[in-house]
Amino acid sequence: MSLPPVNSTHRLHSYLIRRIALSAMLLLVIPAVRAQKAAPAGEKSGATPEGNVENGKKIFTKDGCYECHGREGQGASQGAGPRIGPSQRFIRPFINYVRQPTGQMPPYTAAVISDQELADIYAYLQSRSRATPSKDIPLLNQ
């Protein structure tokens, strides 16, 4: 017993559906691949400037960042500014947050502070020593 002949209209319809599905997938996948190549995991993108620790310290002080975040980025005891010290892992989220913060912090646009200046502040904060874990402080473990 043989199969009935396949309708050419049905074949054309199936072909068009496959082509549309493939095109839709490519439209979704290609931008995602480009985004991954543009900002690899190490944050070494051509758009991200290298920071200068000494200049970052000067800007952090001059622009008053320390007033809310403390001189070491440890956060303020009064709760005004959160800890931003060396725990920051990547520079790009740091810059994005400064540009569009949540909470009480005002946004700092590129007209107010450049990406280079933020990279310098980030480098300064990364140079600060990490806080001693509470388990390593004898007085706290009595």
**pLDDT, block means (10 residues), the chain with 142 residues:** 58 72 59 46 55 92 86 71 72 89 88 94 87 79 79
The predicted pLDDT at position 45 comes to 47
Asked if CATH classification 1.10.760.10 holds for the domain at 53-130, the reply, yes or no, is yes
The predicted pLDDT at position 70 comes to 81
Q: What is the pTM of this model?
A: 0.58
What HEC string does 23-82 produce? HHHHHHHHHHHHHHHHCCCCCCCCCCCCCCHHHHHHHHHHCCCHHHHCCCCCCCCCCCCC
Structure-token match 């622009």, residue found: 63
